[in-house]
Structure formats: structure tokens, C-alpha cells
């Protein structure tokens, strides 16, 4: 097992998922990576002295969120499972949340006329884990629960793949449960994995209702990657400090719900030896269904099974 420290520099950044870009590092199962990352909009990382330091965005490769990657995982084969454990996540000093900037169903249905466009600038205190913003003459403070919004690999297709949607192999999952101490399990779609991670969020509610969380750079992201050769998944799942999570992604929120619940029934069978009817009957008492996000075109639902809910 090795520790890899990735410096925040131009060649470490990518704004898409692809197996056609040269990996920035090769790691083995059990290795740990530690890095800093820009905010999703390619702003700055905490170590940069100049907030306006330019990063050149390549026309095809960098159309999406700023991510660290791709990361090549030795012996990773299509059909295996990749575990990504978040050992530490520390936000930078600033964040922002925009509302009304993106034309979508919400703006029409919610009648966002008074504030057609608004951006909140947040001051983030990593010691107190609090964020503060100003609206008019009043200050507002929230507690921070930082996580990474985009974690994934390219699908097994040639070309450049957008960071915007969530996919079966990860991507723009935007799940607020993936905090420090969580392990995200992803189906590996391509040999070598070509993992990339970005889109720091200091805090987000389920749904990500304005299209943005508190978007921020991350001063430290520390992850351990692990291969599971004999585990086969069709969608991501996660073991978080609060419980097990299974995911569903689809343009139709009902279909995304069915996917998340279907995978949770499989997981309960693995954990407790239950058949599907037994799992859904018992699960009706303990499973929570939550809307992960509704803003990425492909909507997300996650099913939550709290730890110790079943004894």
C-alpha cells in the first residue's frame, strides 16, 4: 500500500470522464491518495495565492466540473467493483450558491421573479465547520457537512463523457451522505478504472434545489481505493456513517425510486439472508427513500438503511 500526494496543477485537472486521456497517476488496490481540488467552476484551490490564477480549459476534455484525474487503478477490470473510502474532506475558505441562473422547470413553477438571479458568497470556517453568508443586511450561518459531488469513471464507450449526469459507474451523484468516513462502491466499466473526483460541496440539502450546493474548493481530499474482484454491482452503493445507501438514476423519478429500492432489497438479502418479499416487508419499517438531486437531467433517488435499525 502506498500514499500518493497529487499536487494541484494544470496537468492534474480534467473536466470530463474518458479513458482516452493519459492518467495522472497509477495506483494499486489499498493505496491512498491525497489532493486539493478547485471548485466545480474552475475557481481556485486553497493553496493558490492568486484566486484568479488561470487554468486552461481544453475545449473537449474540460467542459464540465473541475476534477482530479484520471486515476488508473492497477488490475482493475470491467465487472469488478471499486471502493472509494473518504478518509478526510476539508473545505477551502470560500463557497458560493447560485439561484435563478439556470433555466429549468423550477424557475417557471416557483415563480422566481423577485430574484431572477442571485449568488450567495459564503465564508467557510473549517475549524468551526460553519459557513456564513449575507443576504441584504442580515447574516446567516449554517453547519458544514462537506462531501464530493462527482465521483466516477467513464462508461465503456470511446470518446469524452460529460460530468453532468450520474451514471451506473458514478458521476454527478450529488449525495450529501457521502461525508468523511463513507465508502462508495462503484461498478468498474473499463479496465484501469480511470477514476476522477471533483465538485466539492460544503453543504447541500437533499434535492440540491437551486441546482447548486455550497460549491467550494477542497483543501484536502484523502481517499483510499480498493478493488473487489468478486463483487458485481449494477448501480453504486455506499456504506456511510449513518447507514447503507443504494442509488437509482433515471429521467423518471419513479423509475429512479424503483432502482434504488430494488438494490436495497438485494443488499438486505446479502446482509440478513432475506428473500425479496421478506426484505420489502421488513424494509417498509426501516428504509428511508430520499431524493438525491433533481437538477442534473438524470434524477437521483437514494434508499437509506440506518445502521442498527435491524438487530
Q: For position 104, what pLDDT does the model report?
A: 54
Q: For position 48, what pLDDT does the model report?
A: 43
Q: Class of 3-95+146-230 per CATH? A: mainly beta
Q: In whole angstroms, what is the distance from residue 69 CA to residue 197 CA?
A: 7
β-pairing verdict for 299-306 and 243-250: antiparallel
Q: For position 47, what pLDDT does the model report?
A: 43
Q: For position 49, what pLDDT does the model report?
A: 45
157 sits in which H/E element: none
Q: For position 285, what pLDDT does the model report?
A: 97
Q: Does domain 242-306 have CATH number 3.40.50.1100?
A: no
Regions of the chain with pLDDT less than 70: 44-54, 101-115
Q: For position 112, what pLDDT does the model report?
A: 60
Task: Express each pLDDT in 240-261 by its tens digit.
Answer: 999 999 999 999 999 999 999 9
The three cell numbers locating residue 14? 480534467
Amino acid at each position: 500500500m502506498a500514499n500518493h500526494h497529487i499536487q494541484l496543477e494544470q496537468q492534474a485537472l480534467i473536466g470530463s470522464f474518458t479513458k482516452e486521456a493519459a492518467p495522472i497517476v497509477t495506483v494499486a488496490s489499498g493505496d491512498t491518495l491525497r489532493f486539493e481540488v478547485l471548485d466545480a467552476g474552475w475557481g481556485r484551490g486553497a493553496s493558490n495565492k492568486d484566486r484568479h490564477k488561470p487554468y486552461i480549459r481544453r475545449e473537449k476534455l474540460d467542459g464540465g466540473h473541475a476534477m482530479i484525474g484520471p486515476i488508473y487503478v492497477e488490475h482493475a477490470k470491467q465487472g469488478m467493483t471499486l471502493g472509494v473510502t473518504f478518509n478526510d474532506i476539508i473545505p477551502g475558505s470560500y463557497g458560493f450558491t447560485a439561484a435563478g441562473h439556470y433555466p429549468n422547470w423550477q424557475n417557471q413553477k416557483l415563480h422566481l421573479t423577485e430574484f431572477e438571479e442571485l449568488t450567495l458568497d459564503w465564508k467557510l470556517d473549517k475549524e468551526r465547520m460553519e459557513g456564513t453568508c449575507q443576504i441584504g443586511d442580515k447574516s446567516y450561518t449554517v453547519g458544514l457537512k462537506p462531501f464530493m459531488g462527482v465521483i466516477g469513471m467513464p462508461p465503456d464507450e470511446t470518446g469524452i463523457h460529460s460530468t453532468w449526469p450520474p451514471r451506473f459507474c458514478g458521476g454527478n451523484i450529488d449525495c450529501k451522505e457521502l461525508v468523511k468516513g463513507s465508502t462508495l462502491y462503484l461498478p468498474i466499466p473499463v479496465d484501469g478504472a480511470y477514476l476522477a473526483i471533483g465538485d466539492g460541496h460544503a453543504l447541500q440539502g437533499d434535492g440540491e434545489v437551486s441546482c447548486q450546493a455550497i460549491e467550494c474548493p477542497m483543501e484536502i481530499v484523502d481517499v483510499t481505493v480498493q478493488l473487489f474482484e468478486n463483487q458485481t454491482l449494477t448501480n453504486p452503493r455506499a456504506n456511510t456513517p449513518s447507514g447503507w445507501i443504494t442509488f437509482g438514476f433515471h429521467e423518471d423519478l419513479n423509475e429512479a425510486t424503483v432502482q434504488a429500492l430494488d438494490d436495497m432489497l438485494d443488499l438486505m438479502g446479502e446482509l440478513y439472508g432475506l428473500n425479496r418479499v421478506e426484505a420489502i416487508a421488513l424494509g417498509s419499517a426501516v428504509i428511508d427513500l430520499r431524493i438525491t438531486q433533481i437538477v442534473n437531467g438524470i434524477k437521483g433517488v437514494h434508499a437509506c438503511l440506518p445502521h442498527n435499525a435491524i438487530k
